[in-house]
Each structure stands twice: as C-alpha cells, then as structure tokens.
Amino acid sequence: MTRFSAPIAAQIWDMKYRFKDDAGLPIDTTVEDSWRRIARALASVEKDTAHWEERFYAALEDFKYLPAGRITAGAGTGRSVTLFNCFVMGTIPDDMGGIFDMLKEAALTMQQGGGIGYDFSTIRPRGAEVKGVAADASGPLSFMDVWDAMCRTIMSAGSRRGAMMATMRCDHPDIESFIEAKRDPARLRMFNLSVLVSDAFMAAVKADGPWELKFDGKVYHTLNARDLWNKIMRSTYDYAEPGVIFIDRINAMNNLAYCETISATNPCGEQPLPPYGACLLGSINLARLVTDPFGAGAAIDETALDDLVATAVRMMDNVVDASRFPLRQQAEEAANKRRIGLGVTGLADALLMLGLRYGSAEAAAQTEAWMKRIARASYLASVELAKEKGAFPLFDADKFLASGNMHQMDEDVRAAIAGHGIRNALLTSIAPTGTISLYAGNVSSGIEPVFAYAYTRKVLQKDGSRTEEEVVDYAVQMWRDLKGDVPLPDYFVNAQTLAPMDHVRMQAAAQKWIDSSISKTINCPEDISFEAFKEVYLEAYETGCKGCTTYRPNDVTGSVLSVSETTEAAPEADAGADVVYLSEPLDRPQTLEGLTYKLKWPGSEHAIYITINDIIIAGHRRPFEVFINSKNMEHYAWTVALTRMISAVFRRGGDVSFVVEELKAVFDPRGGAWMKGKYIPSILAAIGGVIEGHLISIGFIEGEGMGLKSDPQAEVVVVGERPRGPACPSCGSYEMRMVEGCMTCADCGHSKCS
C-alpha cells in the first residue's frame, strides 16, 4: 500500500523531497518518514514537542497541508540550507563598491537556494555623470548582466538554484532599455523582469498625458505615457516579459506600511518584500477537504479547514525559528516581522467537485468566500500564538490596524488583534505549487485552472529506457473512480479554453483576502488582438490585482500542449503530449553566431580548436554545428569524423545534450591527463567538456553533468512537426508549460522558480 495516488507523485517525492545520504541512499524509506521528519523538526522549537509533532504530522498526512519544497526537502535533515523560499536583497547603492557588495550577498543567498528579487531603479541611468572619475555611468542594465553571469556561474556548480527577479520603476530613465532587454534571447536568461507601475503612471496612461523619466530629482526625458505603456504591452505580447507590478497598491495595502517600503518581489511575484525581506511558503490542499465530491452535498469541510489553517500557521511560524539564513540581515528581518505566506493549491479541482466552472461568477464568489475564511482563520490563529509567544517585535496596534489591508477585516478579528497583538505581520500568499501539486497527486496548481485533464508523459528509467504513463488530474481521476465511464460535465474547463478575463476574475477574487500577492498566469490565445491583450492588464488593475502576468504562445515564447475541451470523456493524449523530435534536419541560415575554444592537451605539440555555432529557434539559442581543427595530422581523420557526426546530431533538433555525456565517458587506455585540477580520461572527454561548457553558457543545459545521459531518440516516435515548445533542460521532454509565471515541466516537475 502507498499514500501516493499516482506514479508521478512517488517519483517527484523520490527525486526532490526524499531525504537521502551523501551517497544517494534513502534515509526516508516511505513518505510517512518524510512527514515525520518535517513534523519533528518543526515541533523541536515547542515546549511540548511530542504533542505538536503529532499535530503537525496529522496536518501533513495525506497531503492536506503542503509546506513549500525547501521545507519538505530540508527540514530535519541537519543540512545547512535555508527553509525560506523568497528573498529580496538589500537596496542596491549607487556606487561601485556598494553594488559589488550586493552582488556578493546575492551569491551567498543563491548558494543556499531560494528565489531572490532586486530593484535596479536605485542605480543611475546610462550616460549619467559619475563625479570624480570623469566618466559616464554604464547604467543598471550593465550591472544586471553581471548578476546574470553570477547566477549562471553558481548554477554551473551542479545544483539548480532559485530564479531571480529584477524590477525597475516606470519613471527610471533606462526603463525603455529594461523593457526591451530580453528581446536578445541570450541576455538576462536567469532573470524574470517586471516593471513597477505606479498609480500616477496609470492615471497618465488613461489621460493620454506626458510622463517624466527622472533620477535623483533630474528629469532626463519626457514622453507620452500611453506610448510607454504600449511599449510595455508590446514586449509582453511578443516576448512574455516584462510582467507588471502595481507597486503603489502593494504598498498601500501592506500591513507594515508604517515601517517598510516595498520595491521588489520574489521571482514569481507572490511575495512583495522590503530590503532583506524573506518569506516562507506553504499551501492548504483544498482538493483534500471536499466532502461528498460531485454529489448534491459537495462542500469544503469548514471545521477541518479552520483547524488545518491554524496548525499550518503554527508550523510556519516555527520555521522562522528553525531555519538558517544566508545573511544576518535576512534573519533579523524575518525575526522582527515573522512574515509567512500560507496559500492554497487544488482550488480548481475543489471547484470542479462542487460542480462550479472555473472562471464563472459563481466560482469567483466561492473562491472569495474560501479565501476570506482562510484569512480569518490565519489571523485568529496568529492572535492565539501572540497570546502564547508574543507579537512580532515591530507590532504597533494602531498603525497595523490602520493599514489598507486591515480596514476590510472583520471587526472581531480587528478587536482580537487590538487586544492581544498578532504573531505574524503578514500571513497569506498564493505561491507557485507546480511541483508540490504533482507530489500531492496532480492536484490543480495554486489557484490556476486545470491545465490538462490527462496527458501521457515519458519517464526516463534507470537503464536509460523510457516508458509511457498517463498522468490524470486529481479531480478527473476522482470522477472516473466515482462515476466510471460517464462523460465529464461541461463545467470541466482547462487553461487553454478559458477566456483571459475569466482568469482575471479569479485572480481578483482571491486577491481581496490575500495580504501579500498571487502567482498566477493568465493564458491568452495566440490570436488575441493587441488591443484585447492590453485590456487584460487594465482589467487586472481596475479589479484590485497587485500584478499581472500573461502568456501568449507564439514563435518566440513557444507553443504549449494543445488540450481539447470535451464533455464526452477525458481526452486521449495525442502526439503533442509526447517527447517530439524533428524528423528533418534544421535548415542552416546564411550566418550563425558562435565561439571558438582553444584546447591544449598535455603532451601534445599542437592545440585543438573547437568552433561551435548556434542557431536561434523560437527565441532560444541552441547548438547547430561543430568544427574541430588541429595542425596535428594524426588527428585529422577522427576530428573530421567527429565534426560531421556531432553536427549531424545537433541539426536534427531536440535535446542533444547526451552528446556531451557520451564524449565525457570515453577513456584512453594509454591514460588521461589532469586539467585544471580535474582528471580527464581522454582527449575526446576534454572535447566533451568544452562542448558542455558552451551549452551551459548559452543556457541549453543548466550546469555541469545536467545533460541527458543517453540518446532519447531511439525511445520515441519521430513526428514530422516542430516541437511544441522548449525542451525541458532536466529531462529533455517537450512538456514545458507556463504555470504561475514560470516555465514548468509536466514530466519531471522541473522549474527554475521552485
């Protein structure tokens, strides 16, 4: 017997959350061991550890409460890791020494994991005078390139780190360059970008008025506000970036507006944070709390929900004390405000079980009611913690209750806070839950609609072969179990068939009772007009959202899995759900960009020169051809053969990173050589290392040793069409989907944001 309702859930647990020793041998023998490990670790800061360990275990059991991945993977392991997901770094000073101090802090934070955000608005614009050195400033974009290189370097150490968010105010003189930065597909690949949009700017856009770009009191340029808005919208329409953050609303609604100013968020936007701000995340699995699913009495068990929320708040509050922090300032910030981000997952599945169509007015009303209940339960639980353990150190009752968010709170909750204080300054957030949702049995992710009723995934086995398995949405599987072959009702809708305004309606309904923010992707059809696309953002602003992220599939962003909405049955997975490779070689353009590397093999008279040229497909850079040359005529035949074979493989498309692993595995019976402190078994292995370094530098693979270990081509059906989106850098499948603002692989759960 197993607690996992789907094979993919067990595989995600084993790959990402199961505690193993340094040799990769399991210490958690079952998922129950993982729950026990987490419960024990978070109860360790309690006086009655045994009592709270059992309470925490009960909350975790059967995936009812899902701590975020860093807690699930790290709690109770004894390893020097942070359990916090989200960090915003300190304010970047406008001087060279301070900038590179911030870079060092970012590197230390990223080394322990976690998504980090920065506001680059504090750096003077390009061309501004730098006093005392008779030079002009290079501008914030140049320093963002440095951050990007740092992130890429740390990732190349062999372990995936958190993503980065860069924000810039809409009145910064370099805002136009910021908006267009990622039109170069090789630039800022480690960043998500968002523009900080103010209320004054939105008013200027509506009035079709002028807008000043300024820094440190100096106006550098004046332009039409609507023109700048259209530039933001056009870039997002074509390239899916930058996102938009309504920063004045965030600050106005912040419970802590009296002691902090926010100008950045974490990579997926659900946590607006002050300098050195940190937050941990967790989700209530609403799909597990529905009684009589698909029946006449289907409803959330509200008593169970209240109890689970209270337990989850206590667990998360304990994480503040149990976690390590990369920087002292982050630890102090967390201790002074005790911010937590409790959210939900499985919302769409829960709505389906109640017979509600996601995006409808009824579903939005139900979502708002659930979010209000969770908010009430969270705040009251935090008040009880304050009675027992004290309020957060920076609590000021009058100022806290005067914040924009607290004005809407019920009077009994306000009275409880006034009388006893509150343990946590902010309590609610809706985070990306793509991986933990798979782990919980493929429940719908966060507050997103169901992406696909069912699809077929390719699973890479330990022997290098690939097998197929069906992955079924949690609610659909429950329908099948309860109803048999009865067709799905017409209220079963998916992300691709929903109108964009339905997405906005659901985000706005949830945001009303979320004191931080929400990670949500508004899927737009490829053929949506530019004017209709802009209306999505205006509607998000008008209905109270704190930000807006859209995804429109096109030749640049890549397509997504096509899912048909049907009432006849859960659709069969088609060829688009498989790992797809090109059946014809890629055509060679007239010109290609590339790099040449010099390889000097110890003991050899002549160096080998390796040229790798790249092609850009759907906005992504990938290897296209290789030329290997040497003056040593003994090398001529095999270098020509290697050139032709590798180039032929590269030109066929798909994930060709297995070439690196094949070359690195070649050993020379005459012996290898030591190069840069590492033993290389042959000159071919050295060439493989050069190619691997190039693939990392262009973002084709994420780090050393992270390419495919074998050629997957032999295990898949060749289909005569182009891939339906970028290949997953972890498993190579073409199942990357934009979920909650981040590309996520449906096959293996890989995401740079979690």
Token reading at 54: 């059992």
Q: Phi and psi of 432, rounded to 5°?
A: -65, 130
- Asked if residue 567 lies in contact with residue 492, where contact means CB atoms within 8 angstroms, the answer is yes
537 vs 547: CA distance, rounded Å: 9
Please state, in angstroms and as integers, the Cα–Cα distance from residue 311 to each residue in 42, 75, 529, following that order. 11, 17, 47
Helices (H) and strands (E) in the chain, counts: 23, 28
Looking at residue 628, its amino acid is I
C-alpha to C-alpha distance for 125 and 136, rounded to whole angstroms: 9
Q: Please, which residues have CB within 8 angstroms of residue 527's CB and are 6 or more apart in sequence?
A: none
Q: Which two tokens stand for residue 582?
A: 């090109």
Distance CA 3, CA 13 (A): 11
Q: Sort 529 into a burial class: Cβ within 10 Å, 0-12 / 13-18 / 19+.
A: exposed
According to DSSP, the β-strands at 550-551 and 65-67 are unpaired
Distance in angstroms (rounded) separating the CA atoms of residues 251 and 197: 12
Instruction: Please give the backbone phi and psi of residue 458, each rounded to the nearest 5 degrees, phi first.
Output: -95, 130
Contact 223, 204 (CB under 8 A): no
Extended beta strands in 326-383, E state = 340-345
Which two structure tokens, joined as six digits, stand for 195? 């523009």
**Cα(679)–Cα(671) distance, integer angstroms:** 10
Q: Can you tell me the distance from the alpha carbon of 235 to that of 720, in angstroms, rounded to the nearest whole number?
A: 31
Of all helices (H) and strands (E), which one includes residue 303?
Answer: helix 302-322
Q: Which residue do the tokens 């020509």 mark?
A: 640
The β-bridge partners of 615 are 622
- Which active-site residues does the annotation give? 266, 268, 270
Quote the crossing angle between the two packed helices 31-43 and 49-60, to the nearest 10°.
140
Dihedral angle of Cα 730, 732, 735, 737, to the nearest 10 degrees: 50
CA–CA separation, 447 and 348 (whole Å): 6
Decide: 583 and 720 in contact? Cβ < 8 Å. yes
Closest by Cα among 604, 613, 658 to 631 = 604
